[in-house]
Chains A and B, each alone.
Chain A
Amino acid sequence: MIVGVKNLVKRYGDLVALDHLSFNVKEGEIFGLLGPNGSGKTTAINCILSLLNYDKGEIELFDKPMAPDAYDIKRDIGVIMQDVAVFDELTVYENIDYFCSLYVRDREKRRGLVEEALDFVGLKDFRKFYPKKLSGGLLRRLNIACGIAHKPRLIILDEPTVAVDPQSRNNILDGIKRLNEDGATIIYTSHYMEEVEQLCSRIVIMDKGRVIASGSKEELKGMIKLGEKISVEIFGLSSVHINQIKNLPNVSSVEYIDKTLSIKYNKGKNNLTTLLDFFREHDISFGRIYSELPTLNDVFLEITGKELRD
């Protein structure tokens, strides 16, 4: 086990930021911590890194208790914080070299590692640039390079794609996959469900400092009643027809707003075929029609009653 968090409690005065939080991270996985802003993801990461005091609980990394002076553990961790944490006065190369030097003393070895990190994040052409001259996306890549240059076994990324353009975001996500393929275990926190869904092999969904669900994305989606959502563009639909649709097999709810019919189904088969048959029988003409499988947002919505981005 790479990370073990057990019954972690952290209070800020009366506010309970982490409420008996428990989870494990296994070697080689990309572990996702998903939750809305303020759900306690960053607090959990800071506690794991022994930066924050906590009120109760146990944290183990690499099967050893984590402590501020556990330098042998820290040597194997790479951290990429939510905010870019680099020195404006140092160039791209110097920043990576400086943070790498906190882990690797040998200058020759470090030189090779810094070059690899520059290559990995695609900043070779920007090595002499100062951070202020970099775009937001490139700055994020530098932030990542500073955290991974020393080739850690465990990489913690706390919302690394906040305020990043789509191209840079894809670049970052691809990079994380490659790091994992190279053997690093990843903890990835985000409130973007699409990223977590795309990237993570195992996911913990947090809300109000608690774990509300955990498992693979398939397991999480299997926990909820929702099986499918079908949306149809229809220019005219009577209330009689709407009531008839409600009575079709597996239908859990029906909404008709702005000429769009939205139908949610419980788990079941042939929902789209049944619906198309109904339209044909009642001579109902329709425009575009599409079907969606449940997302992690649906999981969150069904469990908490609110949207993930609320």
Chain B
Amino acid sequence: MFLNIFYNRLKCIVRDKSLIFWTLVFPLILATFFNMAFSNLSKSEALKVVDIAIVDNAQYQRDKAFQNFVEQHSKDIPDSEKDIHLFNVRVVSPEEADRLLDNNEIAGYVTYGEPIRLTVKSSGFNQTIIKEIFDQYSQTVSTAMSIVKREPAALQNGLAEDLGNIAGFTREVQIGTKDKPDITVNYFYTLIAMSCFYGAFFGLKEVTDIQANLSKRAARLNAAPVHKLKVLSAGLFAGLMVSLAEIMLLMGYLVFVLKIDFGNQIGFILLNCLLGCASGISFGALISAANKKSEGVKTAILIVSTMAAAFLAGMMFDRMKYIIQQYVPALSYINPVALITDAFYALYYYDTHTRFYINTGLLGIYTVVFCLVTYMIIRRQKYDNI
């Protein structure tokens, strides 16, 4: 009987077009839009090397410290330090510098002197970088001169070396040792988490169909010689299967079509998806069992709560995840969508699985709690009102 109920519930879920739209098609559409919106985000944030020229004059040739400074920012530092160079520098005559600037071959050129002069054709991101870096140099030199005037002995104490080793302005920092960080991937984590949690709609449907005070079909079912927990467990299991299959389709679309990299820990990813779907379905079952409002009201409650949970997990605004962790850290442990998201995040960025286990462990606990509370509510076999 269990299998027959399971099979029929499976058919009911799969043929519910509205349900399948919201739990499968809608996340696929969102994923496509996310991909369109974020595809250039990483590229635009990557720092591009700026082409500049230095006017070759006597002052430049005399000042070895300045030459050293320019050289530092125009070549890659050895890999161990992971600095990246900022400028492609050409040392040219003033006429050549003007020509290069006119032809847009360089963003600007620097004429070394007192003060250092920057010539540009227009203002922009690259021009600002050039200005900031050479201003920094001027300020450092000016500070050093002041120190030497007051404390000439500083020169013997390594001031010159310090000036010659002005720290790099950019440094690539890797959080773990596995993958290069990609900030957009967090949006896709929250999208998958939200989709897992959309399993709540399956849970809602299953409970509605076994509670005699919620639907006429359920009243007919309650009049039949079958334990309603058997029907519920078959229904929730069917819901879990469909939800998991949908997540696999979504993951497949993200990985193979949109080429989103989720790392290669397939087993852990599946475990997270399974627990995410289970927590979603049990949450929906709880919402349905806990109130006697119409199915429409319950669906509205689910949509609002799922979207709110996804928002707080950072789906619409990636900083939200960090704001919550900074100001209301408890919320990120209560919010199942945030837990699913963070479990993916932990898998992707960290070498150890501690954080992943905490997140998935909490999801497992919530699933059990939601199921137990639902059972406590629906185990009542007679109703006061139908």
Q: Mark B69-80, 1 if CB is under 8 A from A, else 0.
A: 000000000000
Known: A89-B15, A90-B12, A94-B8. A102 touches B382 (CB 8 A): no
How many chain A residues sit at the interface, stated as a range, is 20 to 34
B382 touches A53 (CB 8 A): yes
B321 to chain A, nearest CB (A): 38
Which one of A75-83, A133-141, A193-201, A259-267 is at the B interface? Answer: A75-83
Query: Which of A51, A81, A85 touches B382 (beta carbons < 8 Å)?
Result: A51
CB contact between B1 and one of A94, A105, A146, A147 (< 8 Å): that residue: A105
- The minimal Cβ–Cβ distance linking B8 to chain A, given in whole angstroms, is 5
- Asked whether A51 and B386 contact (CB < 8 A) given A74-B224, A89-B16, the answer is yes
**CB pair B11 A85 closer than 8 Å:** no
Q: Give complex CA distance A146, B223 in Å.
A: 12
**Residues of A close to B12: CB separation below 8 A:** 87, 89-90
Partner pick for B383 among A51, A69, A79, A103, CB 8 A cutoff: A51
Scan residues 218-248 of chain B and give those whose CB is less than 8 A from a CB of chain A.
Answer: 219-227
Q: Contact partner of B219 among A72, A85, A86, A99, CB < 8 A?
A: A85
Q: Does B217 contact A85, Cβ atoms closer than 8 Å?
A: yes
When distances are taken between beta carbons in the complex, the residues of chain A under 8 Å from B5 are 98, 101-102
Instruction: Report chain B residues within 8 Å CB of A74.
Output: 223-225
The answer, yes or no, to whether B128 is at the interface (CB within 8 Å) is no
A-B contact count (CB 8 A): 84
B226: nearest residue on chain A (CB-CB)? A102
A98 to B381 CA separation, bound complex (whole angstroms): 21
Q: In whole Å, how far is A85's beta carbon from the nearest beta carbon of chain B?
A: 4
A71 on the B face (CB < 8 A): yes
Give the CA-CA distance A47 to B219 in the complex, in Å: 12
Q: Which residues of A contact B383 (CB under 8 A)?
A: 51-53
User: Does any Cβ of B come within 8 Å of A46's Cβ?
Assistant: yes
In chain A between 49 and 85, which residues have their CB closer than 8 angstroms to a CB of chain B? 49-53, 68-69, 71-72, 74-75, 77, 79, 81, 83-85
A49 to B13, CA, bound (A): 28
Question: In the complex, which residues 231-269 of chain A have their Cβ closer than 8 Å to any Cβ of chain B?
Answer: none
Chain B residues at the A interface, C-beta cutoff of 8 Å: 1, 4-5, 8, 11-13, 15-16, 212, 215-217, 219-227, 381-386
Residues of chain A at the chain B interface (Cβ within 8 Å): 12, 46, 49-53, 68-69, 71-72, 74-75, 77, 79, 81, 83-87, 89-90, 94, 98-99, 101-103, 105, 146-147
Listed A/B pairs (5) with beta-carbon separation below 8 Å: A12-B385, A46-B386, A53-B384, A69-B227, A102-B221
